[in-house]
Structure formats: C-alpha cells, structure tokens
Amino acid sequence: MSFSDQDIAEFKAEARELLDTAEKGLLSLDQGGDFKSAFDSIFRGFHNLKGAAGMMELPKLQAHTHELESLLMKLKTEGAMPAPYISLFLRGVDAARSLLEGQDIAFVYSVGEDDPASAPAPAITHVIVAEAVPAPTRVTASAPAAPASPAIPQAVNDEFVAECGEIVERVAKNLQLLEKGNASKDNVDALYRDVHSLKGSAYLFSYTKLGDLGHGMESSLERVRAGTHKPSAALFDQLYKCLALIEQIVKNIAANIQTADLDEQVPLLAARLLKAAEALESVQETPVTSTAPSTTTAAQANESGEGAASIRVPVSLLDNLMTLMGEMVLVRNQVLQYANRSDDLELLSMSKRLNVVTGEIQGEMMKTRMQPIGNVLTKFNRVVRDLSQELRKNITLNIIGAETELDKSLLEAIKDPLTHIVRNSCDHGIETPEVRREKGKRDVGTISVRSYHEGGQVVVEVSDDGKGLHKEMLLNKAVERGLITPAQAASLGEKEIYNLIFAPGFSTAAAVTNVSGRGVGMDVVRTNIERIGGTVDLTSRPGAGTTIKLKIPLTLAIVPALIVRCGLGKFAVPQVKLEELVRVDQSSADNHIEILHGTPVYRLRGNILPLVDLNRVLKGNGGDSQPDPAKYKDAIVNIAVLNAEQFSFGLIIDEIQDSADIVVKPLTRLMKSLQVYSGATILGDGSVALILDVLGISKVANLKAEKIREVTGDQKAKENIRLLADAQDFLLVKVNATARHALAMAYVNRLEEFKSSEVEYSGNQRLVRYRDSILPLISANQQLGLPDTTVDRATIPVVVIEKAGVLYGIEVDGIVDTLSTQHETRVAFKKQNGIFGNINTADELIVVMDPFEMIETAFPNMARAKFKESNASGKRVLLVEDTAFFRRNIKKVLEERGYEVVTAGDGEEALSLMGPQHPLFDIIVSDIEMPKVNGFQLAASVRSNPHLAGIPMLAVSSRADKGYLEQGARAGFNLYLEKLKPDILLEAVERLLMRNAA
Amino acid sequence: MREQLTTFNVGNDLFGIEVMKIQEVTGELTVIPVPLAPNFVRGLINLRGQIATAMGLRELFGQPAMTSAKPMSVVCKIDGNLVSLAVDAIGDVVEVERANFESAPDTVPAEIRRFIRGIYKMNGQLLSVLDLETLAKELSPTENKQ
C-alpha cells in the first residue's frame, strides 16, 4: 500500500519526536536522573516508534526499535542503567535516525532475546543487521520476575489511563469497520497496532492482566492481519467482550480501585478468544502483498517540514484567549471610530488593517474550540451493535453529517443525552424482527442520526423506523403515575401527549429492561439539553417511527440575544426563549392591554397572555402589588412573548434595542440567587448587560406552569369539541354594504393597518411597502361592485392574503370580529365576482367573500405565473368532501396548480367513480366525516382492492384529535392533514405523488 | 514573620488586604447597577473584557454612602470571582510584624467584625485586615434561595 506525502511527513515528525524523548531520557539517566521516569520515556519512545514503523511498513526500523525495546525491558527491574548500556542505546537512537533518513545501518544487540514480558509482535521475524560493530559490555539481565507493583506517579498513571481510553475508542471504531467488511490492510494494521501498544503500555505499568488481554487480542488478530483468515462473528464477540473488560479495568485504575475481581475474568476470556481465533476460516485468495518499504519514500518525506502537527492546550487557556479577543474587538472598534474621525490617512489605513486582522483572529479563535460531532456520533455504532445483540434485534445505524462542528464543551454535554436517546430508540423504538415482519417492514430496523447547521444552531435528529409512540399508552401511563389527572388527559393535544415522556418519573417501557425503563431518562435528557440552551422536540407517527430533534447552540459561549432597555439598564433576552415581539398601541381602540383583577393581560390571537412588567419585577414587587393602569394608557407598549418551558408569557419592556450575539459570562452565586439573571455580557460599546433568566422571571412573577397549562388544556378541550362539529372560522369584515361580509380564516395570512399616507401608486395600482417588498392593494368594495367607501380614513385596515407565494392586501372598511360557525356555507345562486356564497345564521345572512377570486380578477397573470413549472399537469385527483365550501375551495386550489380534479360528495360516490380494475386517479384527497361511507371506510375499501391498493391517499379533516391519526393510518391513509392552508395541501399532494412515482 | 498589606480607608478606619491577593487598584469605573441585588452590590464592571462584581465596603459595613470624591477600586480575585471593592481612598503598602497582630475586640459591631481577620497595631494607627473568605461567602451564599 502507499502512503501519502503527508502521512510520511507526519510519521517522520513523530518519529523524530519519539527519538528525542528517548534520547532525553537516556541523557538524564546519564546525569543520574530518576530512573523510573527516564525509563518510562525511553521505553515509550522506542515502543511507539516500533508501532509506528510497523504501520508505515518500515521493517528495518521496526526490527531495530524492537530489539532496543527488548533490551530495555531486561533492565526494567534493575532500577538502574549501567553506563555502557546508555551508550548502546544512544547509538541505537542515532542508528534509528539514520534508518529514518533512508540509510542502512549496522548494529549489534548483544543481549539474549527471551524476555516474555515484551513478547515481540509475532509479525516481526527478521532483523536486518549489516555488519558487526564492537560489542558493548555484556550485562547479565536479572530474571524477568513479575515486579511488585511499583509506585507509579499519579500524573503518569493518568496519562496511561487517558491513552488507554483513546486506544479503546480507536479499537472499537476499527473493529466496527472490520466487522462491516472493511478488511483493508490499513484498518487491520491500525487495529493490530493499537492492541499491541495497549499490551506494551500495560505491561510497562505492571498491569499484567490488562497486558494479557491486549496480548490475547493481538494474537487472535494475527492471522486476520496476515490476510490468510477471515474474522468470524464469534471472534468479534470475544474481541468486544475483551474491550469491554479493558474499559472497566482502566476505569478502575483511573479511580484507584483494585481490579482483582475483574482480573479473574481475564484468563477465561483470553482462552475463549484464542478458541475463536483458531476456528477462523481461511481465505482462498492470496493475501494482499505490500509494497516493500523503500528508502525513496523516506527520502521524499525528508523534504517536508518537521515539528509536531498538533499540541495539547488546556481549555482554560483557550477561554482566556477568547476573553482577551473579545476585548481586542472592542478596542478595535474604538480605534476604528477614532480613525474615521481623524484626517490622518496613515492612521486610517493602519486601522483598516487592524480591522481585517482582528476579524481573522476572531474567526480562527472560534475554530479552536470546534470539534466535529462525529467524535461523539461514531461511538453509537458500538452502542447500537451491543444493544441489538442484547435485545435480539436487527438494527443498523446511519450517521449523516458527522463533520458538523460544534463547541467541545457542548459536545461533551450532549454525549450522554444523545446516548440515552439512541438506547431508547433501540429498546422502545425498533421492534423485534418477528414483529417487524408481521407489520410488513424490513427485518432490519434503522436508526438515523442526522446533524446539520440550521439558523445558527446545530440540529441533531435521531429517528427510528420503529413502532412510534402510542398515545393511549402514554396517557394511561401518565395518569397511572399521577403525572396528570384523567380530566387533563382528555384535553391534551397531540404535542402535549408526546411531551409527557419528558416528564420526570415517566417511563414508557412496559417492562423495566436492562437497557431503559427505569423512569430516569427523557426528563434528564431534556434538562441537560436545556441547560446548554438547546431544545428538544419529539414527533412520532404510530407504526412508522419516532424522531427526536435536538437543537443546540453552536457554542456555549456565544448566544444570539435580543437587547432590550428597561429603566436605565440594558438586558439581554436569549433568542431561544423569545417567541415573538408585539407592539401594542394603547391609544388604538381594538386590541390593547387590559387589566384583569389587577394584573395586565393581553389578548394574543384570541388567547389570554399573562403579562409581566419587567420594570416592576426589577423593583422587587413583581408578584402582587397593583399595577398602575394609567401607565399603559395612550402609550406604545412593547411586549416580548417569552417561552418558559410549558407556557408563554409577555414581558413588558421599555424599548427594544438590538439583536446581537453575546458572549455569556457567569455571575456570582449571590446574583444568580436573585433568580432573574442567568449571566452577564459585555456589549459592543463596552457596557455590561445582564442576561435575563426567563424561567426565573416567571417564577418571581408567580406564574405557575400548572395553572397556565390547565387553562390551555380547557381551551384545547373546547376547541376539540368545536372541531368535532366541523366548524369553520371566519373573519368578519366591514365593507360598504349593509350585510356583514366574511372571509374564511384559512385564507388570512395577517391583519394590518396602514396609514393612508403610506399608500403609493404605480400607475393605477395602489401599493404599500411592506416587509421589504411591495404589497399590492385590492379594494374589496371595488371587486364586489360596491361604491367606494364614504368614510374618510386616516388608516386603512387590510387583510393580507398569501396566494401562490405572493402577498396581496385586500382593503376593507373595517375588521370587525372573528366568527366560528357550524352553519354551512351555501354557494351563491348567482355567480358574482369575489363572492363565494352565504352563511345563513338564525338572525342574519353573512356574505362570504372569495379572496382568491378577487386576486385573480385584479391580477389575472400573476396568480398563475408562479406554478408554471409544476409537474402537476395531467395528474388526476379524486377529491372526496361533503362540505360544499371545502369541496369548491380545495378543488380550486388543486386546479390552479394544474391538477385535474374530480369531486365526490361522499365515500360511496367516490367508490362508484373508481373503476374496479383501475383507479383512474393518481391520488385521492378525502375528508373523514362524511355521510354514508366515511373517510376511514373509504380508505379501507380502497386498500382492500388489490387494483387500487397502490394509490396514495391523503386525509384532510378538521378533526385531528388523538386516536384519529392512528385510525387514519390504520385505515390506509398515507398522510393526515388538518383542514388547512392551500400551500400545505399542495405540498402534501405533490410529495405523495412523487413518493408513489418513486 | 512579616506581611505586606495594601491599605485603604473606609470611613474613619484603615483597612488592609494582603498584597499578593490584589490584582490591581484603579480609579472610578463605570458600574452597571444590578436591580434587586443587596445594596452592597454596587453593580457589575467591565474590567477589560472580564466582568467584575463591584462591592461597596461602606454599604457592606452599614455605613452611610460616601458623599465626597470619587471612590477608588481595589480589584481582587476571590474564590474565582473578580471583585472590585469600592473604598474611600488608597493608602500605602505597609509591611507589618506578625507579632503586632491580634483579633478584633468583641466590642466592634458584629456586621463589621465578621469581615475582619484581625488587627495590626501600627504606630499611631490600627489596621484592620479584611477577611476575603467571608467576603467570598457573602457573594456565594450556600443557602440557595431557589
């Protein structure tokens, strides 16, 4: 095999370092230095060089260093090194250097070679010695008796433990590769070398049992390495077991615990290992022949620079550098400001350079702490492998995005939570092969771990294709464990039910298994992730699997935040906690802050949002004193809607200043105990801002999660009842007519109010500039053929509608209210532009407008332009829907996209439209609640007909409460959507069609 | 045994801190107040990129706030936290004999006494040595209110 130039350069640099270490040790011995430590460094030098040389296929160097090492081992118990030996070894070092430079050497090793403690790597069978040189004085080596455990300095011991840890990790990784069939020479060699060095160091430190294990592993791999035999499953099992034992022993060594009980297992394991190795099948093909190591490769490498490729630096040093760098950035800003004001051109150009260089340093500094997430993710290979054996399941692990980088400290922090999630997926998620087969899935379950950057955060998704979460079971369990009351259980939404598994003391496993199910777990996962400023999100589809999504900030140190002012101080609110910002004009009539029993509240989209005034919290009377209602009179009030775990609240602040990436600095415990601050930061102008602790503030302000949750629960329940009746939400608007007019809520994107002065004209078209783009205005009065409004208005109420990705504004005379009604919308008898139909309530007739039609009439070209590329043309959709309003609507949306739509009023009609032999349609979009044959029955009969079974089915219903999704999936729907906005529907239809085509 | 102390005045009294424990002595710094914090916490300071907690010794000792000139700051690292102590005026660095050390008399008000490690008897003046560890405890209350 060949090595890249870089490999060779790295090897040579390392080799020189190792020889230097050995030389230094020898010289210190010569000057009467401490034998033990010097011996260790000499040994390590030779030993590691031997391993590395073996890897690089330099047999001469390998043989040479091996001889030196063997010689050295004999001196180990002597406790001293006679002068002639020192000279011999020094010459040996020089010879090794010559070899490294590609020169042949002549060397005589004058001591016998029968020391069992340093049993040579069996692969080394030849020693190349060209000619004899004067022999050094012969020294009799004492019998290699097992030495009494020498006093090993703690630091050295720690290093040994660390090194073993690294080796174990590498071995595990390589074993995995090998098991997956990657028997490349590279891989096997690396594996072999690692167990070999483990053996060497273990013996060196007199951990003989550990050494025996290493030796056993090494021997068992010998024939595999030679390429003559294939590794067997039994061998892998034994190797993994050895590795696990090694890990335990090393752990005990680290903790200074006697390992006697573990040691007892060693001989047994070693014997089994050997047996497994002996039973290996031989490979027919000829072993890979390796190219002879040549002096030319070594010579080539000589050209590359020397020196270490990497060094270890304490994290605290990096932290200090980061701090100083932050300060440097501040100074740079000041210099830039000063230079910009001055006339001195030279100063100006220097400051520009300073700016660039500082920016670069900052960028590089940030990189020093970043590590690829793969360092953690690849460990899961092992976890999944072990678990799948233990649980008798067939599981493969897919890792995508292992190169995604994030801060090292965060990497450490997510390691355990992630491991837990993966274990959970193995245990609870993936079914046994038998069950999977029954369900018609592949025997092999898949767990995918995907990580990627998104919006300045790192997302890690762990998804399995297992059985998914069972909502009823979750609810029962939660009630059983007293986490919620049965009444609450009935009112929980889907998301809330899934979130139950994050509740403390919750465990889903029907039986407590070895792997998981002890009730500690997901709550800890969530706490840990939230502690580092991340979030956990769970989605699940019964029968299809569960996905857990972690969002983690890129680094602990830097957090995106909103800077707000309150009183005289500036405060930072972490963006992860921020849901939205609301600006309330108290002088305006419609929506403003109201005082409810002495506390301010705000109606946010119909729900009551409790408000907390930051000024009052910071004055220390956040909880109970009466607010001053006058304060909110006729003023603009800024509300930051914050998310405190289970609920939201609004924080009233004086001013919103800026958003910034802030560097979090810790606070003393005294300040933390105030509850409202989580840290402090230094802003760009050098001033200090306190970081608000959102959860703490909610506690200080007496907001309780339970209380709020009950309220939302009740609302949910009410909503559900309403939804069950297939109700529709309308927005009531005023136009220049006596009858009230309405728009289906599903169309409405936003409600806005523009000043008349903001309206501009492009030709005849009225426009306003809106969110960085232009919003064309359409007058409802005009479209409906009504006279223009007579009211002289300072502001124009506008309903913003999104159609085909473009925003339009429909001007109305006023926005009145929302209406939820069960009355069916009747299609107008006479087709009128912009009118869909009427709602007939007991006491009035409401005109229902069709905003899409209005837009189409006003902009006949634009509305269709966007979808030209759609591949929908020619695809036939069967739309089954009993409500005329939805039927017409959905049909229109689909047709606009280019689909051919056939409608049916119920399931029976739908079935009659489909030929028994051919579906005649590419996709079925169906309501659930229908007369005669409902959606579930329809799906079941479609699926039971082999000719129709393959057709994709999409359920569209206003009823999506618990149980329905599962029932839908069981009946055979591919996807289940709530009655919805057109975009989501189109996307779902397209997706299903595409999936079906594939 | 001799000890070197940096001295400073708070009110009418002379105080000292071991020289080696002091990071720097500076003039007035911009203090950002921390709402809700006890009154001896004057606020936070940006000390070249690190955040220091500013403590007022007068407030800590229950003395009236200083009305006169700008306070000076003595910055030390206590228990891993940077703390800036506001004092009235900075004095000399003095070398004192261990032999002249004794503990503070019981008659000293308890709220001051607990922060004083002991008294050095100097020529014509008594020097109270601040106990930085009790100060540290004041900043890191063991009983977390949460």
Strand residues in A950-995 grouped as ranges (E): 953-957, 975-978
Instruction: Retrieve residue A143's tokens.
Output: 């019998």
Show the 3-state SS of A830-849. Answer: CCCCCEEEEEECCCCEEEEE
CATH 3.10.180.10 assigned to domain A150-288? The reply is: no
Most B CBs within 10 Å: which of A323, A564, A688, A699, as the mutation test of the B interface?
Answer: A688
- Which residues does chain A have within 8 Å of residue B85's beta carbon, measured at their own beta carbons? none
Q: Do A619 and B35 touch (CB under 8 A)?
A: yes
Give the SS3 label for residue A676. coil
Compute how many other C-beta atoms are within 10 angstroms of the C-beta atom of residue A893.
21
| Number of residues in chain A | 998
Of A669, A682, A686, nearest to B141 by CB-CB distance is A669
Q: Do A675 and B145 touch (CB under 8 A)?
A: yes
| Number of residues in chain B | 146
Show the 3-state SS of A587-618. Answer: CCCCCCCEEECCEEEEEECCEEEEEEEHHHHH
Nearest to A12 by CA among A67, A46, A52: A52
- Structure confidence at residue A572 (pLDDT): 92
CB B39 within 8 A of CB B62: no
Most B CBs within 10 Å: which of A616, A664, A670, A692, as the mutation test of the B interface?
Answer: A670
Q: Cα separation of A454 and A475, whole Å? A: 33
Non-local CB neighbours of A600 within 8 Å, separated by 6+ positions: A593, A594, A611, A613, A627, A632, A652
- Structure confidence at residue A133 (pLDDT): 33
Angle at A545 between CA A540 and CA A547, to 5 degrees: 55
In a domain, B92, yes or no: yes
- Which residues does chain A have within 8 Å of residue B48's beta carbon, measured at their own beta carbons? 327
Q: Do A682 and B51 touch (CB under 8 A)?
A: yes
Per residue in A29-40, is it b (16+ CB within 10 Å) or e — as a string? Answer: beeeeebebbbb
- Which residues does chain A have within 8 Å of residue B140's beta carbon, measured at their own beta carbons? 668-670
Compute how many other C-beta atoms are within 10 angstroms of the C-beta atom of residue A13.
17
Rounded to a whole number of angstroms, the distance from the CA of B116 to the nearest CA of chain A is 21
CATH topology of domain A728-862: OB fold (Dihydrolipoamide Acetyltransferase, E2P) (2.40.50)
Q: Do A670 and B38 touch (CB under 8 A)?
A: yes
Superfamily of segment(s) A562-709: CheA-289, Domain 4 (2.40.50.180)
Range of the domain at B111: 2-134
Could you tell me which chain A residue has the CA closest to the CA of B44? A688
* CA distances to A335, A345, A457 from A342, in Å: 10, 8, 40
* CA distances to A741, A754, A788 from A854, in Å: 14, 20, 16
Q: Cα separation of B55 and B57, whole Å? A: 6
Give the SS3 label for residue B93. strand
Of B35, B46, B53, nearest to A618 by CB-CB distance is B35
Tokens 């000139």 label which residue?
Answer: B69
Could you tell me which chain A residue has the CA closest to the CA of B78? A668
User: Which tens digits make up the pLDDT trace of A844-886?
Assistant: 778 888 887 788 778 766 544 444 445 566 788 888 887 777 7
Where would I find the H helices in A144-294?
A: 154-179, 185-204, 208-226, 233-254, 260-278
Q: Cα separation of B127 and B118, whole Å? A: 8
Segment 52-81 of chain B within 8 Å of chain A by CB = 53, 81
Most A CBs within 10 Å: which of B29, B42, B45, B51, as the mutation test of the A interface?
Answer: B51
Helix (H) or strand (E) holding A360: helix A345-368
- Which residues does chain A have within 8 Å of residue B43's beta carbon, measured at their own beta carbons? 688
Q: Cα separation of A701 and A237, whole Å? A: 58
Could you tell me which chain B residue has the CA closest to the CA of A570? B32
In a domain, B112, yes or no: yes
Rounded to a whole number of angstroms, the distance from the CA of B48 to the nearest CA of chain A is 6
Of A569, A668, A682, nearest to B81 by CB-CB distance is A668
CATH 1.10.540.10 assigned to domain A372-553? The reply is: no
* Cβ pairs bridging A and B (under 8 Å): 71
Q: Cα separation of A427 and A386, whole Å? A: 12
In a domain, B145, yes or no: no
In a domain, B140, yes or no: no
Given the candidates 3.40.50.300, 1.20.120.160, 1.10.1740.10, 3.40.1390.10, the CATH classification of the domain at A1-141 is: 1.20.120.160
Per residue in B41-64, is it b (16+ CB within 10 Å) or e — as a string? Answer: bbbbbbbebbbbbbbbbbbbbebe
Q: Any idea what DSSP says for residue A665? A: B
Helix (H) or strand (E) holding A776: strand A773-779
CB A733 within 8 A of CB A812: yes
Give the SS3 label for residue A801. strand
CB B35 within 8 A of CB B22: no
Q: Please tell me if residue B139 touches chain A, with a CB cutoff of 8 Å.
A: yes
Tokens 């914090």 label which residue?
Answer: B37
Give me the residues paired with residue A640 across strands.
A581, A651
Phi, psi of A690 (to 5 degrees): -85, 140
Per residue in A505-543, is it b (16+ CB within 10 Å) or e — as a string? Answer: ebbbbeeeeebbbeeebbbebbebbeebbbbbebbbbbb
Could you tell me which chain A residue has the CA closest to the CA of B29? A687
- Structure confidence at residue A998 (pLDDT): 63
Give the SS3 label for residue A249. helix
Show the 3-state SS of A102-167. Answer: CCCCCCCCCCCCCCHHHCCCCCCCCCCCCCCCCCCCCCCCCCCCCCCCCCCCHHHHHHHHHHHHHH
Q: Is the pTM of this model over 0.80?
A: no
- Structure confidence at residue A871 (pLDDT): 58
Tokens 């274990």 label which residue?
Answer: A423
CATH number (domain holding residue B117): 2.40.50.180
- Which residues does chain B have within 8 Å of residue A669's beta carbon, measured at their own beta carbons? 139-141, 144
User: Which tens digits make up the pLDDT trace of A685-742?
Assistant: 778 899 998 888 888 777 654 443 333 444 443 333 333 334 467 788 888 877 788 8
Most A CBs within 10 Å: which of B29, B30, B32, as the mutation test of the A interface?
Answer: B32
In a domain, B21, yes or no: yes
CB B101 within 8 A of CB B15: no
Q: Do A673 and B138 touch (CB under 8 A)?
A: no
Non-local CB neighbours of A553 within 8 Å, separated by 6+ positions: A410, A456, A457, A458, A532, A533, A534, A559, A576
* CA distances to A488, A511, A854, A969 from A497, in Å: 10, 20, 41, 18
CB A747 within 8 A of CB A851: yes
Q: Cα separation of A783 and A543, whole Å? A: 49
Parts of chain A with a pLDDT under 50: 111-150, 285-306, 510-519, 622-625, 705-727, 863-869
- Structure confidence at residue A631 (pLDDT): 63
- Structure confidence at residue A622 (pLDDT): 44
Domain spanning A870-997 has what CATH number?
Answer: 3.40.50.2300
How many domains in chain B?
A: 1
Of A324, A670, A676, nearest to B49 by CB-CB distance is A324
Tokens 């990627």 label which residue?
Answer: A452
Q: Do B36 and A676 touch (CB under 8 A)?
A: yes
- Collect all residues from A whose CB is shorter than 8 A from any CB in B: 323-324, 326-327, 330, 567-569, 618-620, 665, 667-671, 673-677, 680, 682, 686-690
Q: Given pLDDT bands bounded at 50, 70 and 90, which one contains residue B129?
A: very high
In a domain, B18, yes or no: yes
Non-local CB neighbours of A527 within 8 Å, separated by 6+ positions: none
Phi, psi of A805 (to 5 degrees): 80, 0
Q: Cα separation of A207 and B144, whole Å? A: 46
CB A845 within 8 A of CB A838: yes
